[in-house]
């Protein structure tokens, strides 16, 4: 596991706790070193602070996803707790988001869930709904022949919706399958779906991801039935 955190007391607390729990932890105290380790090393997960010297967490996450095309699960640590901050972090490819100050046991539970989901995410299967396809072997998503870049957590949500399509999937169903026992706050799923819509729906003519307010989501083929108004 890689920890990228410039606050010494937080870094020591996290490092010592995870080492005692049997994890092998590398630590970087700045963004440039953190990015170098993330690209050249092999890690099950990255705990990434948002505000870092050199490169901030947003830049690191974006470079890992877009330039290095890395699918390593990333959990962002930050003192910023607004919905827009969460959306911004998830938009550049973070899988989870924990606000400081945090409980170290919750951090471990979230990291453990990310690692477990990532290890079990590859399957020799192809999902297809309308002109949207997801190859679970390569994790490649295409719509109308265009390749889409989606974060690992976004891929998990998309897989759930595609497998259930056109059935409505409730918010608790999605949250349990994606986050397991480490359930996120109420804004996290909504933020991931918001980002997923920007990639899957916005550049195309037909809306596929539909919301039933406060209940859940479903994915449809827009050519087979009318698209409900989105709340």
Local structure of residue 54 (DSSP, 8 states): S
Domain boundaries, the chain: 2-119, 126-219
**The dihedral sign for the CA sequence 172, 209, 93, 91:** negative
Q: What's phi and psi for 106, nearest 5 deg?
A: -65, -40
CATH class of 2-119: alpha beta
pLDDT of residue 123: 46
pLDDT of residue 183: 72
The CA distance from 40 to 215, in Å, is 42
Among the listed residues 88, 85, 94, 87, the one whose alpha carbon sits nearest the alpha carbon of residue 64: 94
Q: What's phi and psi for 54, nearest 5 deg?
A: 90, -80
pLDDT in tens, the chain (231 residues): 999 999 999 999 999 999 998 889 999 999 999 999 999 988 999 999 999 999 999 999 999 988 888 889 999 998 877 777 778 888 888 999 898 889 999 999 999 888 887 766 444 468 899 899 998 778 889 999 899 999 888 999 999 999 888 889 999 999 988 888 777 777 889 999 999 999 999 999 889 999 988 899 999 998 775 544 443
The CA distance from 146 to 195, in Å, is 17
Helix (H, G, I), strand (E, B) or coil at 107: helix
pLDDT of residue 213: 85
The CA distance from 118 to 165, in Å, is 23
pLDDT of residue 120: 60
Place of tokens 């729906």: 201
Q: Are strands 140-143 and 146-148 parallel, antiparallel or unpaired?
A: antiparallel
Local structure of residue 8 (DSSP, 8 states): H
Among the listed residues 105, 75, 73, 95, the one whose alpha carbon sits nearest the alpha carbon of residue 4: 75
Residues forming a β-bridge with 147 = 142
Pick the CATH number of 126-219 from 3.40.50.2000, 1.10.10.10, 3.40.50.80, 2.40.110.10: 1.10.10.10
């Amino acid at each position: 596991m890689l920890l990228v955190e410039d606050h010494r007391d937080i870094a020591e607390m996290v490092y010592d706790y995870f080492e005692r729990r049997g994890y092998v932890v590398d630590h970087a105290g700045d963004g440039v070193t953190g990015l170098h380790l993330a690209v050249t090393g092999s890690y099950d997960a990255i705990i990434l602070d948002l505000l870092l010297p050199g490169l901030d967490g947003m830049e690191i996450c974006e470079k890992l996803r877009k330039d290095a095309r890395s699918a390593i699960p990333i959990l962002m640590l930050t003192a910023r707790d607004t919905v827009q901050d969460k959306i911004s972090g998830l938009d550049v490819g973070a899988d989870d988001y924990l606000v400081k100050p945090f409980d170290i046991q919750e951090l471990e539970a979230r990291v453990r869930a990310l690692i477990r989901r990532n290890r079990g995410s590859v399957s020799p299967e192809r999902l297809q709904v309308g002109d949207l396809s997801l190859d679970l072997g390569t994790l490649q998503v295409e719509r109308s022949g265009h390749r889409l870049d989606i974060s690992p957590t976004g891929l998990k949500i998309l897989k759930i919706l595609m497998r259930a399509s056109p059935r409505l999937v409730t918010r608790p169903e999605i949250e349990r399958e994606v986050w397991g026992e480490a359930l996120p706050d109420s804004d996290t799923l909504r933020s991931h779906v918001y980002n997923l819509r920007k990639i899957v729906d916005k550049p195309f003519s037909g809306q596929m991801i539909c919301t039933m307010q406060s209940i859940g989501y479903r994915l449809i083929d827009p050519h087979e039935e009318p698209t409900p108004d989105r709340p």
